[in-house]
Every structure is written in structure tokens, then in C-alpha cells.
Amino acid sequence: MLSVDALERAVTDLFHAHGAVCDYDPDEVEEMLSGIDFHALTQVVRHKMGTVYSFTTQGNLPKSFNYRGPELFGQEAVCLYEEMNQVSMEEVTTASRYYELWLLEDMTFMPVVRVAVSWGDKEYSCEYRVSKDCEPWETDMSLDLENFSANLMNMCDPCYESEIPVYEL
């Protein structure tokens, strides 16, 4: 259940666990966490949460094949972190590989690998996601807590600018 307390606990637990594994000083971790506005972040997470599919293909050209595969998690989720791992570009085709960190509706984190191929200016694209049933630091993702906390703080901007609705949580 999404609540300010549940989100704060999930993020705090992730920071402390990841910090211990990656030799962050506990005071550094607390300082990073203190800059996050969990009330605003909860509003943004609520607004952005949606269904994630294991495979999607879509295009904006006539007769494009638009398809959604099965749900990846079986619950709504929001991507809180993304890093590009590889990119290959040839003429009008781009193939990319990303690591993502998703927050699931039950307040657990799930690392995901996404492969995306697009043609032209996103005139046609397909994406395939695979969830890694492990901790983020057990993947090849180079999750930097300072960047991650900055991303979480930046995610709150639409809430501060009144660009999203205010949800009763």
C-alpha cells in the first residue's frame, strides 16, 4: 500500500542496505536521505505508477503494429532509476540496453534489464524487459546512491510546480 511512511521505509532500507554493501559511510547515507521530500515523492510515485509490460512494440506510422505482452510484475510500478549500459546506432536504427530500478506497488524494488530498438525518430520501437529477482547491487547496475538521491529529489519538481494532481494517500 502506497503511503509516505511505506515509501520512506522502502527507500531508507534500500539506501542502508546498498550503502553497507558499497562501503558508504552511514552518515553519508543519512545525509543523502535527509534531502529527499518523501511527501512530494509519494505524490509523484502515485501519479507515475502504471502497468509495466515485458514486451511492447509501437509506432506512429500508418498500419504500425502496436502490441503489449504480458505484465512484467503483476502489479503497478514506477521506474525510479535508469542507466544506459550499451547503445548501437546504424543509419536510422538504434539499439540500447538499460538497467532500471522499479518500485513495485508492494514497496519492493526490482532491478530490470531493458533492451530497446527504435527506428527513425521513434517512428517505430520495441522494448523487451526482464526482471532480475535479486538485489540491485547483485546486478551489473552501477547504482550510485548520490545520483539516485538526486534523481529522487528531481522527480519531485512536478509536485512543487503543481503540474500533477494532489492525491489523497
Note the pLDDT of residue 89.
78
Contact 98, 114 (CB under 8 A): yes
Please tell me which residue, 91 or 12, carries the higher pLDDT value: 12
Per-residue pLDDT band for 61 (boundaries 50, 70, 90) equals confident
Domain ranges of the chain: 4-160
CA distance 142 to 24: 14
State the pLDDT confidence band at 41, using cuts at 50, 70 and 90: very high
Of 29-38, 76-85, 87-96, where does mean pLDDT reach its minimum?
87-96
Mean pLDDT (whole number) for 39-58: 95
Give the closest residue to 138 by CA, choosing from 113, 106, 105.
113
- First-last CA distance in the chain: 9
> Using 50, 70 and 90 to split pLDDT, how confident is the model at 143?
confident
- Strands (E) in the chain, as ranges, are 55-59, 67-68, 77-90, 93-104, 109-119, 124-131
Confidence of residue 140 (pLDDT cuts 50, 70, 90): confident
pLDDT of residue 135: 85
CA distances from 11 to 37, 42, 105 (A): 12, 11, 13
Is pLDDT at 23 greater than 80 in this prediction?
A: yes
**What span, in angstroms and rounded, lies between the C-alpha atoms of 118 and 122?**
6
So what's the pLDDT on residue 86? 80
Q: Is the pLDDT of residue 73 over 80?
A: yes
- pLDDT at position 156 is 94
161 Cβ neighbours under 8 A, 6+ residues apart:
none
